[in-house]
Amino acid sequence: MPSLEDLLQKTSRTFALSIPVLPEPTRREVAVAYLLFRIADTFEDAAHWEPGARRAALAAFSELLGERRPGEAARRAADWSAARPSEHEGYRELIAEIPFVLEAFFALDPEAVEPIRAHVVRSAGGMAAFVSKTRDGRLTLSTLEDLRRYCYFVAGIVGEMLTELFLLERPALTVAAGDLRSRAATFGEALQLVNILKDSADDAREGRRYLPASVPVSEVFALARRDLEVAAAYTRLLQTAGAPRGIVEFCSLPAALAVATLDRVEAHGPGAKISRVAVFRIRQRVTRALDRGEPPVSGGGIGRPG
């Protein structure tokens, strides 16, 4: 039998690193939610499928989130697995394990189930709309507004959902709830823009051109940096409002890694990545900043305690 942790390790290096620091029950809720979003992403990214098949998969998957139907989930998962939606071994395994992930989803506290369901379904609907815009298996975004709208559906909504999970049963965060919600989608946009800039060459080879030809790449870099400033403010809000340390760390680490990745991609071009040693050092810096009560991510950069 699979485990949520095993599936996370096989589908996301960053989230497998950061989710374990969350307190329960948020840790399990976020793990399940991430895997559900990753399933939808896998269908959206299946460029070798006809657009109609991808939209149908997204719609059927959304329906499976409505009520527990293990037989239907098993049948759908078998059909999708046979159609090989991805060449990524971890993603293919995740599709095969949809029934397992759905069982974990329906076993969550009902107060967590509803926001997860609502946000995943909205994201899948937005993805389907962009799949409809593909031509000959290729998606090309034309304007900065198109890019930002795409980022909202695939990542901004994730930020909104995470915020709702953080707020569950934590009355101390009520005072910061409005400010957190107003920044949540931008935090998600920041991380997605960094990934798009990093992966732009690979995406282009696979038929996806997220960076609009009419927009200077420097403008996208500038937007990503402004968004990362908002992400830093979000983490500081959590910290000053007294959120559990694990939640602050969970948000700080991806933001800090995104800052370092953006610096490297801007210096060395698409495909540039930060090393495992750099990841370790960034995590240490975040930990030391949290130990001292300092901002773990600040000023568009990693908080560097002296």
Query: At residue 79, does pLDDT exceed 90?
Result: yes
| Percent of the chain residues topping a pLDDT of 90 | 85
20-25: average pLDDT: 95
214-227: average pLDDT: 96
Per-residue model confidence as pLDDT tens digits over 43-55 = 998 988 999 999 9
152-174: average pLDDT: 97
Query: At residue 1, does pLDDT exceed 90?
Result: no
Average pLDDT of the chain, as a whole number: 93
CA nearest neighbour of 58 among 116, 123, 119, 146 = 123
> Quick one: pLDDT at residue 225?
96
Residue 301 dihedral angles phi and psi, to the nearest 5° = -140, 180
> Quick one: pLDDT at residue 302?
46
> Quick one: pLDDT at residue 306?
28
Tokens of 61: 């998957």
CB atoms within 10 A of CB 294: 15
CA distance 47 to 85: 8
> Quick one: pLDDT at residue 106?
98
> Quick one: pLDDT at residue 304?
38
Using a cut of 0.85, tell me whether the model's pTM lies above it. Answer: yes
Query: At residue 216, does pLDDT exceed 70?
Result: yes
> Quick one: pLDDT at residue 203?
82
157-166: average pLDDT: 98
- Return all residues near 195 (Cβ < 8 A) that are at least 6 apart: none
Residue 135 dihedral angles phi and psi, to the nearest 5° = -130, 125
Q: Which residue has the tokens 């698409």?
A: 270
**What does each C-alpha distance from 107 to 59, 112, 114, 161, 168 come to in angstroms?**
22, 10, 12, 18, 17
CB atoms within 10 A of CB 50: 12
Pick from 13-22, 65-74, 126-135: least confident: 13-22
Task: Report residue 208's pLDDT band, with 50, 70 and 90 as the boundaries.
Answer: confident
